[in-house]
Chain A
Amino acid sequence: GQQLNQSPQSMFIQEGEDVSMNCTSSSIFNTWLWYKQEPGEGPVLLIALYKAGELTSNGRLTAQFGITRKDSFLNISASIPSDVGIYFCAGHKPVNAGKSTFGDGTTLTVKP
């Protein structure tokens, strides 16, 4: 079946540093989504990308839809302690209706 490879699996960084994570797939997706999940909560949608090559920002977060449509990247600039959590990428294609395929997540720890 479809699989998303998300890396790195975990990151330990100092407050103020920039963070990069990415997701690759063997399949083409029409939509890439990035979520953040904190303990005891459901994933929260951060950014949605709809076109190959698209670059979208949400505050200190920037995500890109790869031109091959098989990958996506998320960058967080000037990290702060509240950025701690698990970041998931998800790919979607219309033929799958309400099913998104999720990566395994990147666990981010930020040291003050």
Chain B
Amino acid sequence: KAGVTQTPRYLIKTRGQQVTLSCSPISGHRSVSWYQQTPGQGLQFLFEYFSETQRNKGNFPGRFSGRQFSNSRSEMNVSTLELGDSALYLCASSLGGPGLTYEQYFGPGTRLTVT
């Protein structure tokens, strides 16, 4: 089975711009979670989508948004980029259904640099 893929792997943007990151989960996985990883804050949960619905959300400003498509692929968008948004953005997929395990499998991440 192919693993979780994320595109692009690297991105450089300027303050004030917006960015869209993409994640394709493992085939058969319906849950996609997004995390932000920074040296100072570690792995912080952004949000999770299951069957095209946002099921859980972390404590991030509204500039961070996401969506999930019917094929379980997910995108996250960050608008009005700030320098502090520079981070590794990780996507994780899991089966995620009721009664199923929440073992999450991560993609390689998208390294976003905001200048």
Contacts and interface: CB of A to CB of B under 8 A. Distances in A.
Interface of A: 1, 31, 33, 35, 40-45, 48, 50, 88, 90, 92, 94, 96-105
Interface residues of B, number: 28
A14 B56 CA distance: 42
Nearest to A4: B42
A101 B103 CA distance: 12
B101 interface: yes
Interface of B: 4, 31-33, 35, 42-43, 45, 48-50, 55-56, 58-59, 90, 92, 94, 96, 101-109
Given A42-B107, A45-B104, A97-B48, A102 B42 contact: yes
If over half of B's interface residues share one DSSP class (helix, strand or loop), that class is named, otherwise mixed; here it is strand
Contacts of B33: 98-100
A97 B106 contact: no
Contacts of A101: 45
B102 A45 contact: no
Given A98-B96, A100-B45, A102-B42, A42 B50 contact: no
8 contacts: A1-B59, A44-B106, A97-B31, A97-B56, A97-B102, A98-B56, A102-B42, A103-B42
B96 A97 contact: yes
Given A97-B50, A98-B48, A98-B50, A92 B90 contact: no
A98 B55 contact: yes
B56 A96 contact: yes
Given A41-B108, A42-B108, A50 B90 contact: no
Contacts of B103: 31, 33, 45, 48
A50 B106 CA distance: 20
Contacts of B108: 40-42
Contact of B104 (A1, A33, A103, A104): A33
A31 B102 contact: yes
A44 B50 CA distance: 21
A92 B42 contact: no
